Structure 1
Amino acid sequence: MNVPEYVAIDPASAALLVHWPDGTVGRLPFAELRSACMCAQCRKRKLDGRAPSQPPNVQLLDARPSGYGLQLVFDDGHERGIFPWTYLERLARGARHTAGDQEPGTQPICTDLDA
């Protein structure tokens, strides 16, 4: 399993930044993450042909390490979904770029992610 070195919430770009060991960074927009939630409630809505309910400008408030991934907390009150590292990596695959310095205005929120 590929575990990131750290993740950071970037409010300025409304994205979660995932810094991978190979030096790339995945930039995952908050709205895309909210839509990609695979918790039971969101999966049920998708199976019923309904889109997950979310405000258009949903914000990510917190990302809590949960062993095999991150539990994401959104400002619409949704915090049921745990996003496994492999799922985050798949979502970020098309959004990676080479990491230079840390993105301005961001702080790593999770740095001990192997635990």
Structure 2
Amino acid sequence: MATQHPQPTEIKLRRNSRLLELCFDDGAHFTLPCEFLRVYSPSAEVRGHGPGQEILLIGKETVNIKDIEPVGNYAVKLRFDDGHDTGLYSWEYLYKLGQEQTPLWQEYLDRLQQAGYQRREPETKDSSTD
């Protein structure tokens, strides 16, 4: 018998603040930046085809999601304004990103620093107008 993973009850894109809000049926609520979602895309283009093949993306501080396309009852395809639109974000993967956001983000920042890239914090617009 397959394990039932939490299902989203709400998905809301806040374009001005470049955030994706997710609420799940177990009460979990995550707010994931578009940059975070982009650099942790499940696509082979970003993840590679095995351990150690991941691509470090730089310069994605201002990337935004331009469209969210449902895929069956198990995932969404996120279309980013930098042209990236491959990889399916399953509910299970989005939940995992939400749960592990802090260590994954730190890992990304550490990798940027090791690569000598100076990340620039983007300006954010008022999220009340999203």
Other-structure match for 2:64 = 59
The alignment covers a number of residue pairs equal to 99
Give the TM-score normalised by structure 2.
0.64
From 11, 19, 22, give the equivalent of 2:15. Answer: 11
Q: Cα–Cα, structure 1 residues 53 and 79, in superposed 2: closer, same or farther, change >3 Å?
A: farther
The one-letter code of the counterpart of 2:64 is Q
Higher helix share: 2
| Deviation digits for residues 4-30 of structure 1 (CA, Å, limit 9, x no counterpart) | 012010123211011112333210100
Secondary structure, in 3 states, of the residue corresponding to 1:12?
coil
Gaps of 5+ in 2: 102-126
Higher strand share: 1
* Greater RCO (CA < 8 Å, at least 6 residues apart): 1
Give 1:73 shift.
0.5
| Deviation digits for residues 58-108 of structure 1 (CA, Å, limit 9, x no counterpart) | 01111111122111000000000111111100111256xxxxxxx8545xx
Question: Does 1:71 find its partner at 2:77?
Answer: yes
Gaps of 5+ in 1: 96-102, 107-115
CA distance in 1, matches of 2:128, 2:65: 17
> Which structure 1 residue ranges, 4+ long, deviate > 6 Å from structure 2?
none
Give the TM-score normalised by structure 1.
0.72
Secondary structure, in 3 states, of the residue corresponding to 2:48?
helix
Percent identity over the alignment? Answer: 27
- Write out aligned runs for 1:1-115 (5 A): 1-44=5-48, 47-48=52-53, 50-52=55-57, 55-67=60-72, 68-93=74-99, 104-105=128-129
Larger Rg: 2
The one-letter code of the counterpart of 1:66 is V
Please, what is the CA RMSD of the aligned residues? 2.5
